[in-house]
């Protein structure tokens, strides 16, 4: 929760300039402790549907120990679903029309399975754009992950992503380049984020249309980016929500695709993820897979347990910190929407007063 500037101590002004949340005494007295309602548009395919729920729920867990957070998962009718996933959705998911009527404080958009060369050709495109356009007018902030980031950039800015020659796949070091922004305030200057994508939009293209890069990697480009107003849209090209073993499960899936002749090459190691010992185990496994494939035998048992116990999660703490910052600022601004005295001087087009 924010600090309260109960006197004229200069430190409060200094903290404000650094992006910290500081309230006046009058503002604190008028704080409305209320629940936050966060929508989760889960567009992931059936196999990853529930895992994605858990990943984002974990990120939001503990983001704020005072405010109660209600998470409302929903999906798009234009996404093809199997029987089990459809039953899960019907039983546990909200309907977008109902959420639109009730209102949301914040919204998270997940990735999706892509089958077309252009995102606008995807069957879910129109439905996704409807949700995004509504949220841009009625939701305090929209957090976009991976594919959702690229879709919003194309829909609202006319920016099409560039296909990479090789998949960006691994855990990469990033650095904060806008430490004054509330999203990355009090976050380590350098930290890691998992990525799994075939496409990218470079930093110069984003900033040419007014967006602001908060976190950058010399190796793979912009990570956290915000819309021109500083907060309405928060974009991530990576997957800070990933579990420790998420990339391992992707690797295992790609090995299976190679074995079934669904890909020509054996998948490369995930960058900056496997230990030297794990790589040795996986090289031995590759030899077994190639031999079984050549002799038309069954796929050998994947040594998942041996690899999992050697995986290190080096991104979770930062991911939680950034999500806590995001939720904290959403809470602050939703109170602002109630016309409280401490927000009377704030420009509604630039609620953070960061980018004049």
Residues noted as catalytic = 146, 239, 241
Neighbouring residues of 11: CB distance < 8 A, sequence distance ≥ 6: none
Asked whether 294 and 259 are in contact (CB, 8 A), the reply is no
3-class DSSP state of 176: strand
Say how many residues make up the chain.
356
CA dist 230 and 184 (Å) reads 12
Q: Which residue has the tokens 């093809």?
A: 80
CA dist 281 and 288 (Å) reads 11
Sign of CA dihedral 9, 10, 11, 13: positive
Asked whether 180 and 19 are in contact (CB, 8 A), the reply is yes
Q: Torsions phi, psi of 202, nearest 5?
A: -80, 160
Q: What's CA 262's distance to the chain center, in Å?
A: 29
Classify 108 in phi/psi space as left (phi over 0), alpha (psi -120 to 50) or beta.
Answer: beta
83's tokens: 């029987």
Neighbouring residues of 13: CB distance < 8 A, sequence distance ≥ 6: none
What does the buried/exposed string (b/e) look like for 227-240 if buried means 16 or more CB atoms within 10 Å of the residue's CB?
bebbbbbbbbbbbb
Q: Torsions phi, psi of 249, nearest 5?
A: -65, -35
Q: Torsions phi, psi of 74, nearest 5?
A: -150, 170
180's tokens: 């004054």
List, as one string, the DSSP characters of 262-312: SSSSPPPPPBTTS-HHHHHHHHHHHHHHHHHHHTT-PPPPP-HHHHHTT--
């Amino acid at each position: 929760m924010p600090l309260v500037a109960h006197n004229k101590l200069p430190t409060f002004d200094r903290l404000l300039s650094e992006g910290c949340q500081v309230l006046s005494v009058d503002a604190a007295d008028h704080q409305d402790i209320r629940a936050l309602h966060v929508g989760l548009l889960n567009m992931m395919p059936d196999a990853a549907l529930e895992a994605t729920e858990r990943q984002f729920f974990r990120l939001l867990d503990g983001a704020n120990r005072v405010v109660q957070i209600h998470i409302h998962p929903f999906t798009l009718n234009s996404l093809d679903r199997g029987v089990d996933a459809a039953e899960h959705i019907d039983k546990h998911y909200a309907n977008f029309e109902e959420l639109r009527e009730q209102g949301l404080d914040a919204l998270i958009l997940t990735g999706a399975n892509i089958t077309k060369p252009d995102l606008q050709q995807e069957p879910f495109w129109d439905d996704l754009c409807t949700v995004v356009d509504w949220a841009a007018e009625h939701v305090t902030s929209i957090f976009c992950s991976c594919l959702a980031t690229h879709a919003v950039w194309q829909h609202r800015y006319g920016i099409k992503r560039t296909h990479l020659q090789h998949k960006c796949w691994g855990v990469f070091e990033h650095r904060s380049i806008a430490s004054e922004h509330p999203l990355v305030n009090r976050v380590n200057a350098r930290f890691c984020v998992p990525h799994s994508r075939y496409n990218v939009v470079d930093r110069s293209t984003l900033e040419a249309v007014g967006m602001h890069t908060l976190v950058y990697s010399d190796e793979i480009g912009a990570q956290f980016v915000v819309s021109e107003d500083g907060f309405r849209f928060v974009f991530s090209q990576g997957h800070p929500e990933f579990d420790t073993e998420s990339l391992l499960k992707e690797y295992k899936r790609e090995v299976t695709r190679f074995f079934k002749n669904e890909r020509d090459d054996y998948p490369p190691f995930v960058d900056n993820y496997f230990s030297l010992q794990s790589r040795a185990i996986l090289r031995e496994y590759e030899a077994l897979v190639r031999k079984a494939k050549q002799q038309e035998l069954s796929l050998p048992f994947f040594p998942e347990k041996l690899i999992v116990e050697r995986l290190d999660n080096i991104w979770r703490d930062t991911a939680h910190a950034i999500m806590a910052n995001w939720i904290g600022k959403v809470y602050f601004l939703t109170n602002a929407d109630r016309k409280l005295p401490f927000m009377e001087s704030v420009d509604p087009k630039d609620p953070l007063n960061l980018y004049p």
